[in-house]
Amino acid sequence: MEDEVNVTFITFEGHVNMQTYRHVYFVVMFTLYILIVCSNVTIVCLIVIHKDLHKPMYVFIAALLINSVLYSSAVHPKLLIDFLSERQLTTFTPCVLQASSYYTLATSEFLLLSAMAYDRYVSVCRPLHYQTLMSRSTVTLFLVCAWLVPACELSGSVVMYMNVKMCHFTLKGVFCNTLIYTLQCVSSVALSVYGVVILVNLVLFPTLFILFTYTRILLISYRSSTTVRTKAAQTCLPHLLVLINLTCFIMFDVIVVRMGADLPKVVSLTLTLYMTVYHPLLNPFIYGLKMKEISKHLRHLFSQLTLM
């Protein structure tokens, strides 16, 4: 019977002092999750409601913020349940699906930022062709690809994991991520190679494309008028801040999570929770404060709420 339980369930061992602080963890994470959802959804609603924001750049921002909510929802609900549970368990199939969803949404953000970079490149460098190059069908294609391509590539890893024999059933983390690689009886070379391919296709190439387009934008803006330089800075800076933040997050996940067993449990838990909260919470504040048009509507909304 014990063997059957071990085969069926995976235990999360990354939690710290659950018996003492479980309710504190729950209240803090639940509050942050609600804040993530509300802040992202508020800006998405503003973009939907106001017709002056019905432009490709703001459509991509709305998609990015929706992606942040989905990303958080792939982690936090299960985490909240675990905080209130006597034992923090999952089974293998849901664990693989959670990890797949988590990384699908994380890598989708790189493709959405690539679409934003292309939009800004066309706007600044080829303004006369903007309406033609950034038509509604083009924007729709970019959005579909941003979510469909990572989903298809990550589904390949799901299939491969389902065919790998597992001998270990304890995860050092608090949710399913790259640590599921440590559950294998023997490290799979195919899975390792496929993981590198995904990292190159969905992270490295989009990042290089974004850096290339923004370098071109900065060079052209530098030779242009002050008005063009100001416009380029106002629209590109938020995207670059999000890219830097997202790149740091991926570096943390690839490097630190893999060496998580060598970190003190308190440090590992703190960094993991920070990683799952900081990025989706930062996005709406960056776009809400740095994007002039969104900020204007946001201030108007708050002024109406204070008068009620």
- Ordered structural domains, the chain, with CATH: 2-307 (1.20.1070.10)
pLDDT value at position 308? 64
Q: Helix 136-162 crosses helix 189-199 at what angle (to 10 degrees)?
A: 170
Instruction: Tell me: pLDDT of 284 over 60.
Output: yes
- Mean pLDDT calculated for residue range 117-140: 89
Instruction: Tell me: pLDDT of 110 over 50.
Output: yes
Query: pLDDT-derived band of residue 256, with 50, 70 and 90 as boundaries?
Result: low
Phi first, then psi: give them for residue 269, nearest 5 degrees: -65, -45
Please give the residue that has the higher pLDDT: either 276 or 198. Answer: 198
Instruction: Tell me: pLDDT of 1 over 70.
Output: no
Instruction: Report d(CA 128, CA 222) in Å as an integer.
Output: 19
Digit-coded pLDDT (tens) for 187-219: 778 888 888 889 899 989 999 999 898 888 888
The model's pTM: 0.88
CB-based contacts of 42, cutoff 8 Å, min separation 6: 284, 298, 301
Q: Extract the tokens encoding 211.
A: 């850096």
Q: Which of 115, 189, 107 is nearest to 154 (CA)?
A: 107
pLDDT value at position 267? 75
Instruction: Tell me: pLDDT of 236 over 90.
Output: no
Digit-coded pLDDT (tens) for 58-99: 999 999 999 999 999 999 999 999 998 888 888 888 888 998
